[in-house]
Structure formats: C-alpha cells, structure tokens
Chains A and B, each alone.
Chain A
C-alpha cells in the first residue's frame, strides 16, 4: 500500500516535470517518425543514381539511356566524377555510375572496358539499385559481346552486328534468377516503423531508467529515505516502493511508445498479449538498471549525464540503431550480453515472424533473469548503504 503510494507520488512528480515529459513522450515519438520515414519502404520510389560521363562516346550514351529508362532508378547527370563522388558521400544519390573516357573506342577495338559503380563503403547501396544498374550494364555487355562474336564469325561490321544484337536482345527469352526468402513471414526483418518503434521503445525505456536513477540518488542524499525509515515502514517496503516508482515510469514510457506506434504509425506489434508481456518484462529490466545505478553512483548529476551516452552505446550493441542481422558474428555475440539484444530479438520475432508468447519464451526468460539479477544486486547494495 505504501509502496503504491510512493509510485503514485513518483508519477505525479513526473507529470509536473514538463521537461521530463518531453523526453519521455515527445522525443521518442519524433525520433521514431524521423528514422521510420528514413528507413521506410523505399522500394516504391525510384532511387536516385548519379551518372558522370567522362567522354564515353556512343556506347556510353546507350548505357546512360538504359539507366535513364530503368524503372527502378532516378538517373541524374553529374559533370565530373568528383562531384558525383561527393554527391554519393553526402547521400544526395544512393550510388553513382562513372562512364570512362574511351569506353566506346575500347569496346569497338575488342578491348574490355570498366564501368565504375560508386558506393560509400560505410553504407552499402540499396540492393535494388545495385541490381538495376547491374542489369543495364549486363545487357550492354551481352550486346557488345554478341556483336563482336557475330562480326567476327560473319565478317560484318561491328555496328551492323550490334544493331542486330540489340534487336534480338529485346525479344530474347531470359535466363532469370528467382530469389525467395524463407524462414520469415515476408522478410525476416521488419522495415520502417515496424523496426524503429520497437527499437526506440527498447532504447528509450533503458535511457529513461538510467536517468531515473537520479531520483533515487537524490532521495538517498537528501535523507528522504532515512526519513521514511523513521516512519513505521520496513526497509523492504521502501525498496519495493522505490522499485515500483521506477517500474511505473519505465512502463509508462514503454506503453506510450507502444500505443503511439500502434495508433499513429500503424505498427503491427504481432500477438498483443505476448507484446505486452514483453514490454512489461523489459520495464522490469529497466527498473533493475535504474535501482542498481541509483545504489552505485554518488550524485544525481552523474546519472543524468551518463544516462544518454551509455544508453545509446548499449542500444547500438543491442540492435536498436541497426538490426544485429547485419553485423558480424562477434558483434552479435557481444550484443547478446545486454538485455537490449534479447528484447529486440523478441520484438522482431513477434512483428516479423508472427511468433506467439511461446515463440519468445527464451527471450522473456533471459530478460526476466536480467531483471531479477539486477534487482537483487541493487537491493543488496541499497540495504548495505541504508543500514550504514
């Protein structure tokens, strides 16, 4: 009863702190929106690709025409390769194609030629761009190859043979590649808001919990806890109340993102009871982290200043910034030392693979173990400091 009262008072204090509300409610929603749009479903749009022609000649023009005509690409001309490289680096276009000088002559003379595909190593070009550009280049390669071969065999000019090859290529039956992904509902990774909403839920519940340690430190320092101990209240009740306060805030944050994600961004959280149990369990983990940090740190400012960077770091490791599926194996293992990765695994299973509560039982168990261990450690430390 007293513990409930303490939690109620924590929520009331929160409601009065407009800045805290801003961080707990508005900031995550804004970030979900921004990043969700960023990583949103880009397949429907033509992706911008830059083309720089260094003087490739007629065959270069043909290749460029092919890129312009490609339904997947939005081709833009650049004056020189440097400008194109800058544009790719700055993300103005997602990739670039450089048509080298002497391209036409080289191919006519029977020499090989290279077309440069400019991508930023730190962020691979979207797969559709690569596929579309490859297809256009492959088609020209096939035509040139066919023209050379036919010209040589039949003793006609390259141009005649090329014209014939181009005409035939249009009607040719194709050797195709058919790709399907198995082991997922559609794709194993959710996209757009379906990824950023759970990622930010995990990220922000954790950051808020870290920062929430400040309240506990203040209460310890200002002697509020000592005063409570002076009332006829047991240490256990007070610790439970403090934990419940932190849990209430963490759960509130989680539920806000959950509901906003569902109603505003149309996130499909999968099996609702399973998702709710997951949010609840992760809020418990946050509670444990907040309590532990609150028992360890000396002053409240440390908690507020260390919260965001540490939260962001663990978020990166745990797959809140990008899916762990795209990082190398060692990083994935390191990531799973932290609760974020398990929570993200569970959310992905619910959202993308249609798992139910039994499907995420392992992740829930691991998260519960995190929560229990953190809370036990925090209780032990706090009991020691309060007794002293």
Chain B
C-alpha cells in the first residue's frame, strides 16, 4: 500500500509539474496577486499631495495654519503648498492640479481671537480621496487647537470674574495658545506586532489558491476513471486505498509546497514575517488537509468530471468569498463575519493573522489548527468512504 501510494503520488506530481496551468495556480498566481495587493496597500509608497491655500485673512491665527501647520517639518516633504486666491484655489482643485484647497476667510483671526465662531473650508478633489482626507484632518486638528485656546481664555476670564481689556485678552490668548494639547490621539496597532500588507495578503492569497491547487488531486481521481487507468491500477494489485492515499499525498505535497513557497517568497522579496515557523508549518499542514478533504468530498459528490470541475470551483469561490480572502472581514456585516468561521479558510486566515499580529507559537494558533484539522479529517474520511465505493464500482 505504501509503495502504491508513493508511486501514484510520484506519477501525479510529475503530471502536475508538466501542466503549466497547475504551476501557475500553485506558485505564480498567488505570489503575483499578493505582490500586487502588497504594492497597492503597502506603506512603502510616499504620500504626496499638492494643496492650494487661499488666505484672505493674512492675520496671525490664519498664518498659524498656513505657515505653522502646512510648513511644519513633518509635512514639508510630503505636501506642496500653493498660495493663491479663493477662485484660483477652486479652479486648481476642479482641474485636478491640486488635491485639496484650504479657504481661510477674511476676519478669521479676529473672530477666533474674539472667541467667536470661524470656519475653515476644505475643498477636496474627488480624484484623490486620500489626499482629501488628510487635508480635512489637518484642518480639524488645527480647529481643535483653536477651540481649546478659546476655551482656555474664556475659562480663565470666567474664573477671574472680571472682564478683561482687549490687550489682556490678547495676551491671555497668546499664552493659552502656547503648548500642545494635553491629550493626543495616537494610532495603535491591532496586534503586538505590525501587520504589513505582505504579512496579511501573503497568507490570504496562499490560502485562496490552495483550494484550486489541491482540487487537482481530487479531480485526477475522476480523470483516471475516465482514461481507464484506474482499472489498470487496480488490476495491478494496487488497493483502492493505496491509490487514493497516493492522490492525497500528491495533493498534500503540492498544496504544502505552494504555501511554503509563498512564505519563502514573501519573506525574501518583501521581508514579510509570518511569525513562529513551527506554528506556520502546523497551520499550513492543517489547512492543506482541510482543503484536500473538502475538495475531495465535493468531487466525490459529483457525477461527472465536468460536474466535479464546476462544483469545486463553485465551492472554492464561495468559500473564498465567505472566508474573507478577498473581502476584508472587518467590512462585512456581523452575521457574515460569523459565517466566515464556518469556512476552514476563514479559520486558517484567522490563525495566520493572529500569528502575525500577536506573535507567539503553537498556542496562538491552537484553535485554528484544531478546527481545520477536524474539518480535514471529517470531510476527508467521508470522501474516502465515498471514493472507495466509486473506485470499486
């Protein structure tokens, strides 16, 4: 039986390696896709924006924004600022020559210093939403500073209980404006470690294509039947279990190496870090087993090779959709997020992301490994039962 399994597995792998489309799906496509997404979302690209500023006020508070905020050391290299008038600013954004514009009306400073209302208008270009968002948050942050200063002055005056002269009010304002806000909102990560795009999409794409890769194995059982080679195998004293074990072994080798090659490639090319190697290997193995089990079961449920082909791409597509390989889970409604946990790839993905984010070893991925392993064994067992009958018939 072992000899049969090894011979069949060797033969199957030889066939797969000769089929260029299988190689593309197992090794090329997942890496290309992960690279594409990595480049698209990776933090490596420099944010650059051109902003137009129309300062109709030309007083200190407005200048605090145009000369202070926009020309600050942190922004100087990223943002090109063009000082224009309001009409020109609007035209620049409209033409797409500027990504956003700030309009500071005449009397802006005076109104702020009086403790009154004031408005910074941000014109965003629909062509570049990111630059628009950045512009808006710059303005909001400055508005918050101004509001805080106003509040400080008013509180101080109210506490003193007597009205201030204009000079006093100005002096208070200048003092209050000094210093940062006492509470800052800083961005924190979702794990103990940074999740780089390559760390996230590497495993995600590997898992997505894993199902396509592995389904070759199950479909080849049907091909053997169609070609008559299955009869020939069984006539040569090979047991059905031996043949099926060989098929599963070939699928396992191909699937595992597909994920591991992805791991190696993203590590070497993008410097990705998938986390603890032992846990990665364990999760890879259990994920591959679940993919083999499911695709095998799907194929044994089909009546013809064509149907099997259709069923398996259907199942793979659906699993990928529900498992979050393409849609970001976070943006799914809550019920659908729970549905993703009905899919083995959803669990595998969760395991890989946990590993990237939380670090740790086997313990981090214990549940995902257990779930995918259970799915693999259950579906694989059922498939084996059905396939033995199919082969014998």
Contact = CB atoms under 8 A, between A and B. Distances in A.
Assess A/B contact in the complex (Cβ within 8 A).
Answer: yes
Interface of A: 19-20, 22-23, 27, 31, 34-35, 37-39, 82, 85-86, 88-92, 94, 96, 98, 107, 111-123, 127, 130-131, 133-135, 137-138, 140-151, 153-154, 156, 160-161, 164-165, 168-169, 172-184, 187-189, 301-302, 304-306, 308-310, 312-313, 316-317, 321-322, 325-331, 352
B94 A146 contact: no
Given A34-B321, A91-B329, A146 B143 contact: no
B212 A331 contact: no
A149 B152 contact: yes
Contact of A174 (B22, B147, B350): B147
Given A134-B137, A181-B132, A305-B25, A188 B127 contact: yes
Given A146-B152, A188-B126, A308 B317 contact: yes
Contacts, number: 328
Contacts of B125: 181-183, 188
Given A118-B188, A175-B112, A137 B334 contact: no
Contacts of B39: 328, 330-331
A306 B21 CA distance: 6
Contacts of B342: none
Contacts of B122: 177-180
Contact of A150 (B121, B144, B152): B152
Given A187-B126, A306-B24, 9 more contacts: A38-B331, A112-B184, A141-B182, A145-B182, A146-B155, A177-B120, A180-B123, A181-B123, A327-B40
B128 interface: yes
B50 to A, nearest CB: 13
Given A121-B189, A310-B29, A331 B117 contact: no
A172 B191 contact: no
Give the top 5 A-B pairs by smallest Cβ distance, nearest first.
A188-B126, A91-B330, A142-B148, A138-B144, A116-B188
B212 A305 contact: yes
8 contacts: A114-B184, A115-B185, A121-B189, A138-B181, A168-B158, A172-B154, A175-B119, A182-B124
Contact of A146 (B129, B154, B196): B154
B272 interface: no
Contacts of A94: 330
A127 B331 contact: no
Instruction: Give the most central of B123, B148, B175, B353: most A CB within 10 Å.
Output: B148
Interface in B301-335: 306-307, 309-311, 313-314, 317, 321, 326-334
